[in-house]
A = this chain, B = another copy of it.
Amino acid sequence: MGSITIRNHTIGDGSLTIIAGPCSIENREQLLEIAHSVKESGAAILRGGAFKPRTSPYSFQGLGEEGLQYMKEAGQAAGLLTVTEVMDSSDIDLVASYADILQIGSRNMDNFSLLKKVGQKGHPVMLKRGYMSTIEEFLLAAEYFLKEGDNNVILCERGIRTFEKFTRNTLDLSAVPIIKKMSNLPVIVDPSHGTGRADIVLPMSKAAVAAGADGLMIEVHPNPKKAISDGQQTLDYNAFRELMQEITELHAFLNHRLTAPQAVKFKVL
């Protein structure tokens, strides 16, 4: 069936899994507030970066272990699973002691040494597609976990680098149905990084669900304009709540259609 169960939550069983939270963990109170807000709107997993891969060494690099502690506390307080990035093989044990799911970021999809060691750890993992990687390379990177016997792998399409300038990346939704045909791993779509624009996160979320995604990862912050990083692609609480309403209804409609007796199966030529 290709579903993954982490504690009480199952991903990839036909339900829609929503991951939400800030780009960077900024402080304890804010993360607690965000966690409760996104939980109320229907999210199942809290995201937030403690170790941040930044293009410039002079940019904010994250709170480190302090951030991990805030994340674990906020997840437990709000009843959410947690996911956060691990950037270095020497941090795997540390991050896994706080987070339910280890994220491998887009910039590390080709960091095969990290992939191997995370696979050996056997912790649930979400692998983001490299922004410069083909779908084939994405699936082969996932094999690094599977080869080590770690099957709790979630894939995340987050946009690829092209010449287009109106978006930060080009969200490649074709990857969703293609991966569904070639693998039984759940596929999450990240329209926040995939577009870099808060104003089109809603339509691209709907498109992702319509394309068959098993879930979405959305950046949420109480005041996106003041976020330490990625504010231009981040939703505030209201926008996120409204998105959740639309997405939930759309998913229910699509799901109902799939299981209704009149549903016809599309024949591949």
Contact = CB atoms under 8 A, between A and B. Distances in A.
A174 to B, nearest CB: 5
A269 B225 contact: yes
Interface string A122-141: 00000000111011110011
Given A56-B140, A57-B116, A87-B112, A198 B269 contact: yes
A108 interface: yes
B90 A90 contact: yes
Interface of A: 51, 53-58, 87-91, 107-108, 110-117, 130-132, 134-137, 140-141, 143-144, 147, 160-167, 170-174, 176-178, 181, 194-195, 197-200, 202-204, 206-212, 224-225, 232, 234-236, 238-239, 242-243, 245-246, 249-250, 253-254, 257, 264, 266-269
Given A51-B113, A87-B112, 14 more contacts: A57-B143, A57-B147, A58-B143, A91-B113, A134-B163, A135-B164, A160-B163, A167-B174, A170-B174, A177-B204, A181-B200, A206-B254, A242-B267, A243-B266
12 contacts: A53-B112, A90-B90, A131-B132, A132-B132, A164-B172, A178-B197, A198-B268, A199-B269, A203-B212, A210-B210, A225-B269, A232-B269
